[in-house]
Amino acid sequence: MDSRYISDIAFTPSVKNRQEEMGSRVAYQNMAEKRDWQTKITEQLRFFISERDSFYMASANADGQPYIQHRGGPKGFLKVMDDQHLAFADFSGNRQYISVGNFDENNKVHLFLIDYPNRKRIKIWGEASIITNESNLMEQFIDKDYDVPIERIIKIKITAWDINCPQHIQQRYTLEEIKPYIDKLKNE
């Protein structure tokens, strides 16, 4: 993609036309000129990822048919490998293989990570690769508390990422986050 700005990964010519029509193009052009999206993992992003216990992953087949999948695990199951790569274990599951099949045809991937209590979300665009034969890498993802075989590692090279606005994110809390408060109330 020949782009002037990193954010052009999402702001394609047709998107820019629609922004122009709806009156928001100038604001997004100014944003790109002042603070375009990032391509490297910062300490802020590294910390944000380490605190997530789930994310949503979008893929699309060769015809462009999209598919979204929820991925969950213990905090930090999505690992930062270096300043441009993320990875996670793909455990044996329902055996549909839609995402990995899509990656065989179209390796473009999008991750959507949400911090519900703090009303923050991060969008990550990238390219996925499937790793099945690197035992040293696979060992980094073994979870002693989760006795399900790892079928593969999905590694993602980040193309761009951005923090999205908190508007419309409803605060939600996990049981782990509210349990101390519940316990305190029970003990009073």
Q: Give the Cα-Cα-Cα angle 63, 86, 158 (nearest 5 degrees).
A: 55
Cα 49 from Cα 71, distance rounded (Å): 13
**Class in CATH terms, 38-166:** mainly beta
State the pTM of this model.
Answer: 0.89
- The CATH 2.30.110.10 domain(s) of the chain lie at 38-166
Tens of pLDDT, residue by residue over 11-61, are 999 999 999 999 999 999 998 999 899 999 999 999 999 999 999 999 999
Tens of pLDDT, residue by residue over 128-145, are 999 998 888 888 888 888
> Which amino acid is it at 81?
M
Q: Which of 94, 12, 96, 107 is nearest to 60 (CA)?
A: 107
